[in-house]
Amino acid sequence: MTNECKKGRNIKDSTSDMVNLTKNVDQTDDLKYNRRAFLKTAVGASMALGLSTVPFSVRAMMGIAEDEGERLEVARMDELPEGNSMTFNYPTESDAAILVHTVNGELVAYNSACTHLMCPVFYEKESDILLCPCHKGYFDVSNGQPVAGPPQRELPLIELEVENGIIYATGRKYRHG
Ligand code: FES
């Protein structure tokens, strides 16, 4: 490279231009770094917020919510032969529920207020199904899902445990979110 070229490339018009140039470079850098810092902070904050809600989001996606129900003695096994049902209240006295010992020997319990317009549902042994007589709503007894008629949502599931021949309600699950 010739001296002319070097001189040409390094020519500065004036000191004030140099100052302006430097100032402009600094401002550009400042803006760039401020923007980058802002973006980093924003992304970090969003990720932290997102991660903190993951358990709730997953549960919401799965449509599961649980009540902290007290463990409540509901009945003795020998009081409820297969093909029979009984009513009780859970988790509070104002939450009507139905416990069913199905013809297939399964023990299930749900809150019994129909998810259409709150009429009580009954176990129909002959069809092994839960029936709401108000508008002929039907629910699958094995999972509480609506299978026919107006109801669109499943019945809240009451979790059960059997210990020493005694049936206990231990919690309630809403599965639609
Ligand atoms: S209230 Fe149960 S079907 Fe309407």
Question: Is 60 a domain residue?
Answer: no
What spacing in Å lies between the alpha carbon of 120 and ligand 1's midpoint?
Answer: 8
Classify residue 130 as exposed, middle or buried by CB count within 10 Å of its CB (0-12, 13-18, 19+): buried
**Atom number of ligand 1 nearest to Cα 135:** 3
The answer to whether position 148 is within a domain reads yes
Considering the domain boundaries, does residue 58 fall inside one? no
- Same domain, residue pair 122 and 168: yes
Is-contact 139 127, C-beta < 8 A? no
107 vs 170: CA distance, rounded Å: 14
**Total of domains in the chain:** 2
Cα–ligand 1 centroid distance for 20 (angstroms): 78
Q: Helix, strand or coil for residue 27? A: helix
Q: Which residues form the domain of 27?
A: 3-52
- Is 73 in the same domain as 159? yes
Same domain, 12 and 80: no
Residue 59 lies in a domain: no
CATH number of the CATH domain containing 120: 2.102.10.10
Residue-level pLDDT, tens digit, the chain, 177 residues: 444 444 445 545 555 555 555 555 555 555 566 666 655 655 555 555 444 444 444 554 555 667 667 899 999 999 999 999 999 999 999 999 999 999 999 999 999 999 999 999 999 999 999 999 999 999 999 999 999 999 999 999 999 999 999 999 999 998 764
